[in-house]
Structure formats: structure tokens, C-alpha cells
Amino acid sequence: MITNAEIASILSELARLTVLEDGSPQSFRVRAYEKAARAVEIHDEPLAPLTAAQITKVPGLGASSAKKIRELADTGRLAKLDSLRETFPPAFVEVTRIPGVGPKTALMLRESLGIESVDDLKRAVGDQALRDLPGLGAKTEENIARSIERLGIGGKDRRTPIVDAMRIAQDMVAALEAMPGVDRAVPMGSLRRFRETIGDVDIIAVSEGGSGAIMEWFTTMSTVTDVVGFGAKKSSVIVGAGIQVDLRVMTAAQFGSASMYFTGSKAHNIRLRQLAMDRGWILNEYGLSDSASGDLIASETEEDVYAALGLPWIPPELREDTGEVEAAIAGSLPDLVDVGHLHGDLHVHTDLSGDGRDSIEAMLDAVVARGLTYVAITDHAEDLVINGASRDEMLAQRAHIDELCVRYPDLTVLHGAELNIGPEGSIDYDRDFLAGFDFGVASVHSQFDLPADVQTQRVITAMNNPAVNVIGHLTGRMIGRRPGIELDVDAVLAAAVETGCGIEINSHLQRLDASADVLRRAVGSDVVFVISTDAHDTRELANSMWGVRNARRGWVRRDRVANTWETAEFLAWVASKRGR
DNA sequence: GCCGTTTTCGGCCCGACTGTTTTCAGTCG
């Protein structure tokens, strides 16, 4: 049976190819397909078994979409899509990935020069064949040539892992804020929404003194390799390895509406503008105002603008138009977790781990300095040959912790281990030795390419082990570098409830594992999560803020996160698992 | 293509920048 995700993906492709058929990314048909794809994606129940009439009941899906979905479910194909793919083969679609080349230009190039691929276009540019075409010129030809060169590092749909984008944004923000006339600079866009990969880095600089000097400075920084836009209000540059950074300069009075606009998502913004329109208002980056009189209604803070639209403030991590607007209207936004809610860290390494950097004393000092009241020390167990600790080393560490406890009267220190899940779900040590630990995190560190059913059983077997309180970094993925193990996520979430085993939300920006998508699948269930840093040095303890934001993006309610609980309640949860 | 207490047609989110024009189309976010 075809899944909603598969249907949504096909409708998205239909939208992309219809852009070419209609010659416009804004055609109403394109937008209808995009909206339909989104509607299918966020619909809770499978659509494949429904009749066309039932499908039409879903908002965003009309008679035409219903017919297409039935065709897909019944035949596995979509004639309309097959014919579009024939008209616009992948090599031609590739041409539209070139920045600056949209559907109109691509179609015109095909019509006038027979361009069917990026290679064709490269040749035409070499022959200077573009500059004499209507609407184009020498400048456009040069820009397309440069864009093709840049294609080597990704086209319009290139995405950068959040860990890299975050670093660039932080550096840029610091540099901007050091500049005279800039009152503050704040990253926006998908970075603020905390997507795990980022297209462009968007930044707002707040200034009352005009933008000229700021834009001049921004576009001539030493890290800038290319300037793709230079204007009074907006400029865009390429930095370092090819990441685009967009800067908008706004006044403090516009900051609320501006940050909503630049945080997006686009789909979320469209929903808000429709709400504004219903009231006879207009919403843009400069504010919410009356369409007729032009009178400003709200702009200074996001809270002001949302409130004027009759909504509570919606956290940026939720702004994807995947149900957050409806929840806001209904007053049922989830009560999300903040860093200040965390009382403990349940995955912390010391220099006993081969890859750990700081002593246990340093780690405990840092934990106390962060205001935490409990912590689990979880160095690697012996099966991780390079980094793991032997039994004797673990016993010595436990004795050491007992001695140290007097120095930390307000901190509950659990002696734990990060256990390794073998291919069949077994873990390090033996039952008796495991019983000596206060806490167990079990993680996959090897054999990432077993079949999904084997991996699923592997993790569930580990969950059933009484020594395992939490599954660490669920899939082992590294964003943008390796995919992580394949799992039947729903089966794993069900087993988590069944066994009382917690699931870690790993705070490393490269991991963010379990992913926000997985977390969202658990909404409404009784799965217990813990937000852990997996810190290998004292500095990394601050990473909890990333885990928190990933949890927020996954709609995880605060009360489902065990390390927001007070010490006694938390310890009771730990004990109940170990007693099974 | 979708939708409807302005209902079955006529609307559909909004603005900046570029390059080509000489008032605007195309692209992008």
C-alpha cells in the first residue's frame, strides 16, 4: 500500500515539473500541488484505502488530487507525471538548478537554442550564444557562466549540515555586532527554525543609522568569495566553502515582523498572511497594517504581531505549517522544554573514555556550575575496543565517585556506562557486573549497514535488558556525513513504551539523534525521552541547548523529558526500569 | 487546482534585487 509520504513526494515532483509546464513557480496549479503535497504529508491517517470522496474531505485536497491519489493507490503510477517526466527529463530539469536560471529562461533556451542539459548550456555560453537572445545580455551570460561553475559545490537545492551553518552564522553575527551602528544581529531562517540542514544563512542586523556602511562592510569581508546581491535593504554573499549568507538591515521598530518574515517557513508565513488578509490587513516584513488606511497595527515584537492576529507566540522550531497554526488557534500548542527546565545530564564522558578530554572532577565541577542536580557519568564500556573502559577501571571509577560525593552535596552522581549494542542486541559485561551500575545508556557504534528488520530487533532486544535505561543516539547518524542505521521507527517507539526504556535526544549538532521527525512520530504516545549532551569535555555540556531545540522541533512536551523531573521522581523512573 | 457567513466564479502572500528595459519581467526567498 502506498504511504502518505510516497504520495506527498510524487505530488511534490508534480509541482516541480508543473513549474516548467506553466512556466511559473507561482502558478495557481503549482501552488495547489504544493499545498496538496503538504496536506498529504501531515495527514495522520493513510489515504490509500480511502475513496475519492473521502480524500476530498481533507483540506487542501480537491477532486483532482483525489483522483490522482486513487490512480496512484490503484495502479502505482500517475499518467500525468509520466508524461511530464517525458517532456522534462532529468537532464533538462537540472538546468533549472542553476542559480539565476528559472523556468522562463530554461524554456526559452530550449526553444531558441535547443538546450537540453547543463552541458548544452555550458557550450552555448562558451559560444557567447546567449547574449543576443531577447531579454538576455552579456551580463546575464556571464552570471550564468559563474553559476555553472558554482554548481560544482551545489545548485539552488544544496543544503549544509546545521553544525557548519551554525558556526558560520555565529562568526558572522559576532562580526556584525562588533560593527559601529549595528545594535544587534540575529540568525533567522531555517537556522532559527533549527532544521538539521540549512540552505542559506539568513541574518537580520538591527540599525537605526542606515544600511550603506553595513552593506559595504558585509560584502567586502575577507571570508566573502562572491557577492550575489547588493542593495540598500538586502545583500547576499557566498562565504568559505560556498554557503550563501543573506543580510537584511532593519530598524528595531520593525524587528518583530521582520524576524517573523525571515524566520519563515515560507508556508508558515503564507498562513499568517492569509489570516491577516481575512481581517482586511496586510502582513509583510515591515509590519502588520490595515490594507485600506495603511495604519500600522503591530511590528515591534513577534508577540505583538501574533497577538494582533489572535494567536499566541509560536516557537520558531514549530513554524513549518505542519499543524502549528491550527494548534495555536485552538490554544493547544505543546508545552515545550527550555534549557532552564533541565535538572540533569544523563550521558557524560570523562577522560576514562579514550575520546574523553576532561577529568571527572572537572566534569562534575562544570555540571554543578550549570545548575544541574543530577548527572550520570557514562564512559564507554569495554566492547568499544579503542575507547572503552575495562571492568577494573569501571570499579575504580565507581570507588572514586563514592569518595568525591562529599565534595558535591547538592549533586546526585549516578555511576553509569555507555554500553555497546552488538548486532544481536547483546551488550557489554555480564548480568551481575551490569547490575553494579546505577544507569545504562546503550548505543549502536558499529555495523551500521544491517537490514532494517535486524537493526530494529537489535535495538528492541537492548531495550529489554534491565541494565539499559536509555538508548543513546538512536540511529548513529552524522548529519551530512553518514545516514545512520535503518529502523522501523514506529516499532522502536512502541517497544520504548512497552519496556519503559527511554530514548535519548543527543545534543551534538552533528547528531541530533533521535531526529525531530522521529520525535514527532512519538507525539501522543507514552515514550519517555532524555535530553543528553554526550559531552566529551566540559565545554560540550553547553550543547544541551541544541538538544532542547531539537526536542522542541519534534513537538516533545516538557513532561515527556525525564531530565526535567525533580531528582526523586527521576530516580524512581531509573529504578523502575532496573527492577524489571 | 482549491475554495466558499463577500460561495460555484473569481480570487489566490509579499517584497528586494538584477538586468534588461524605459516601465518591467524574471528570479529568489
As a whole number of angstroms, the distance between CA A92 and CA A506 comes to 41
Please say if the pLDDT value at position A556 is more than 80.
Answer: yes
A381/A503 same-domain check? yes
Nearest nt (C1') from A58 Cα: B2
**Residue A30 confidence (pLDDT):** 92
Nearest nt (C1') from A262 Cα: B29
Q: List the grid coordinates of A30.
A: 503549482
Read off the pTM.
0.91
Nearest nt (C1') from A30 Cα: B1
- Protein A275 CA to nucleic acid B2 C1', in Å? 17
CATH of the domain at A104: 1.10.150.20
Residues of the domain holding A361? 339-578
Q: Residue A378, SS3?
A: strand
**Residue A579 confidence (pLDDT):** 73
A424/A543 same-domain check? yes
**Residue A451 confidence (pLDDT):** 94
Positions 113-132 of A with beta carbon below 7 A from strand B are 131
- Protein A32 CA to nucleic acid B9 C1', in Å? 17
- Protein A15 CA to nucleic acid B11 C1', in Å? 21
**Residue A210 confidence (pLDDT):** 83
- Protein A482 CA to nucleic acid B8 C1', in Å? 52
Positions 53-72 of A with beta carbon below 7 A from strand B are 56, 59-66
Helix boundaries (H) for A156-281: 162-177, 189-193, 212-219, 255-263, 266-278
- Protein A129 CA to nucleic acid B21 C1', in Å? 20
A364/A458 same-domain check? yes
Q: Which of A128-132, A463-467, A576-580 has the lowest mean pLDDT?
A: A576-580
Please say if the pLDDT value at position A153 is more than 60.
Answer: no
Q: Residue A451, SS3?
A: coil
Please say if the pLDDT value at position A65 is more than 70.
Answer: yes
A170/A271 same-domain check? no
**Any domain includes A88:** no
Per the prediction, chain A carries an average pLDDT of: 93
CATH of the domain at A262: 3.30.210.10
Banded pLDDT at A513 (limits 50, 70, 90): very high
Please say if the pLDDT value at position A382 is more than 60.
Answer: yes
Q: A194, A509 in Cβ contact below 8 A?
A: no
**Residue A61 confidence (pLDDT):** 93
- Protein A92 CA to nucleic acid B18 C1', in Å? 24
Q: What is the mean pLDDT of residues A294-309?
A: 94
A350/A214 same-domain check? no
Summarised one tens digit per residue, pLDDT across range A428-453 is 999 999 999 999 999 999 999 999 99
A499/A394 same-domain check? yes
Q: What is the mean pLDDT of residues A195-213?
A: 93
Return all residues near A377 (Cβ < 8 A) that are at least 6 apart: A348, A349, A350, A360, A363, A397, A401, A413, A414, A415, A416
A414/A458 same-domain check? yes
Please say if the pLDDT value at position A151 is more than 80.
Answer: no
As a whole number of angstroms, the distance between CA A379 and CA A56 comes to 54
Radius of gyration of chain A (CA): 27
- Protein A310 CA to nucleic acid B5 C1', in Å? 19
- Protein A31 CA to nucleic acid B1 C1', in Å? 8
- Protein A321 CA to nucleic acid B7 C1', in Å? 26
CA A549 to centroid of chain Cα atoms:
9
Summarised one tens digit per residue, pLDDT across range A255-284 is 999 999 999 999 999 999 999 988 889 999
A260/A236 same-domain check? no
**Residue A418 confidence (pLDDT):** 96
**Any domain includes A230:** yes
A512/A409 same-domain check? yes
Query: Strand B positions with any atom < 7 Å from protein CB?
Result: 1-4, 6, 11-21, 25-29
**Residue A387 confidence (pLDDT):** 78
Summarised one tens digit per residue, pLDDT across range A22-40 is 988 888 999 999 999 989 9
Classify A426 in phi/psi space as left (phi over 0), alpha (psi -120 to 50) or beta. beta
- Protein A264 CA to nucleic acid B29 C1', in Å? 9
Nearest nt (C1') from A189 Cα: B29
* Proximity of residue A270 CB to strand B below 7 A: yes
**Residue A240 confidence (pLDDT):** 80
Of A106, A128, A151, which residue sits at a domain end? A151
In total, how many domains does chain A have? 5
Positions 173-232 of A with beta carbon below 7 A from strand B are 189, 199-200, 202, 229-232
- Protein A160 CA to nucleic acid B14 C1', in Å? 27
Banded pLDDT at A152 (limits 50, 70, 90): low
**Any domain includes A91:** no
Please say if the pLDDT value at position A104 is more than 70.
Answer: yes
* Proximity of residue A235 CB to strand B below 7 A: yes
* Proximity of residue A287 CB to strand B below 7 A: no
Instruction: Name the residue with the least CA to C1' distance from nucleotide B29.
Output: A266
**Residue A99 confidence (pLDDT):** 86
- Protein A263 CA to nucleic acid B13 C1', in Å? 15
**Any domain includes A203:** yes
Nearest nt (C1') from A107 Cα: B26
**Residue A242 confidence (pLDDT):** 82
Q: A433, A383 in Cβ contact below 8 A?
A: no
Positions 418-447 of A with beta carbon below 7 A from strand B are none
Please say if the pLDDT value at position A526 is more than 90.
Answer: yes
A64/A182 same-domain check? no
**Residue A350 confidence (pLDDT):** 95
A174/A146 same-domain check? no
Q: What is the mean pLDDT of residues A343-364?
A: 94
Q: What is the mean pLDDT of residues A93-117?
A: 91
* Proximity of residue A105 CB to strand B below 7 A: yes
Q: CA nearest A440: which of A412, A399, A468, A404?
A: A468
Q: What is the mean pLDDT of residues A126-152?
A: 87
**Residue A154 confidence (pLDDT):** 62
**Residue A241 confidence (pLDDT):** 75
Give the angle A510-A314-A308 at the CA atoms, nearest 5°: 155
Q: Which strand (E) or helix (H) includes residue A415?
A: strand A412-420
3-state secondary structure A55-108: HHCCCCCCHHHHHHHHHHHHHCCCHHHHHHHHHCCHHHHHHCCCCCCCHHHHHH
**Residue A25 confidence (pLDDT):** 87
